[in-house]
Amino acid sequence: MSEMSEEEMCISTQIVKYKEFAGNEGQQHSSSVVSHLRSLGFDAAICRSEPKHDRSFPAGKYEFMDVLVRNRKEKSTRILVDMDFRTQFEIARPSSEYSALIQLLPLLYVGNAEKLVKIVKIMSKSAKTSLKTKGMCIPPWRTYAYMHSKWLSSCRRITNCFIEEIMPCQGGEKEECIELKLAQKSEKQRMGKLTSKLPTVLMEAGLTSMFKVVAVA
């Protein structure tokens, strides 16, 4: 966890500074953190995934953030950001060994997918061992498959203007790839939808006699 790239360190520092400035209110809203990072020039977004599930428990959704960093060759590296990372690995009646291990995890995670996969593998195996020593079975939402899918399955990447689909990598876990698919109307189309409601708003306000509403292409 101590090994961080220059980009990861910069992003982490900016988030910590912002949380200190915003206080408790700012710490609870990932959208405000994303807006802050984007104002600094980072390609940040909210990511919403649907972790893997089966018949034993209902489907759920998970939200975190990411930042796309492009190098000189215009290749993108995806940096994942989770402001409540450590909490996601908590289990009932943990052994002393597992408790010590979970304390090594940061509350704020900023790192690439490869590092996250290694952490999830270690923590999932350790959680299973811990629960077994207590005579308990590992719940489905603490299995490796479920935890892996929280951050590394297909998800919706949401910015202020549009939504993109991030598809999971095909091939080995160390292979890094990003596929983005536009899933919502462009900014021009979005603004057109808003202006189409203007006549109704003016009518309700009794201002139609003061303005002439025209269609804008």
pLDDT per position as a tens digit, 77-102: 899 999 999 999 999 999 999 999 99
Cα within 13 Å of Cα(201), Cβ side: 7
pTM of the model: 0.72
| Separation of alpha carbons 140 and 214, rounded Å | 57
Measured CA to CA in angstroms, residue 37 lies from 18, 42, 66, 123, 161 at distances of: 9, 5, 10, 30, 15
Residues of the chain predicted below pLDDT 50: 26, 169-179, 182-191, 193-196, 198, 201-203, 207-217
User: What's residue 111's pLDDT?
Assistant: 96
List the Cα angle 39/43/46 in 5-degree steps.
95
Contact 16, 106 (CB under 8 A): no
| Separation of alpha carbons 92 and 8, rounded Å | 32
| Separation of alpha carbons 44 and 32, rounded Å | 11
89 Cα distance to chain centroid:
16
| Separation of alpha carbons 41 and 35, rounded Å | 10
Using a CB cutoff of 8 Å and minimum separation of 24, what contacts does 171-180 make?
A: 173/113, 173/114, 173/117, 174/114, 176/77, 176/78, 176/112, 176/113, 176/114, 178/68, 178/76, 178/78
User: What's residue 191's pLDDT?
Assistant: 46
User: What's residue 133's pLDDT?
Assistant: 92
Cβ burial of 209 (10 Å; 0-12, 13-18, 19+) is exposed
| Separation of alpha carbons 114 and 107, rounded Å | 18
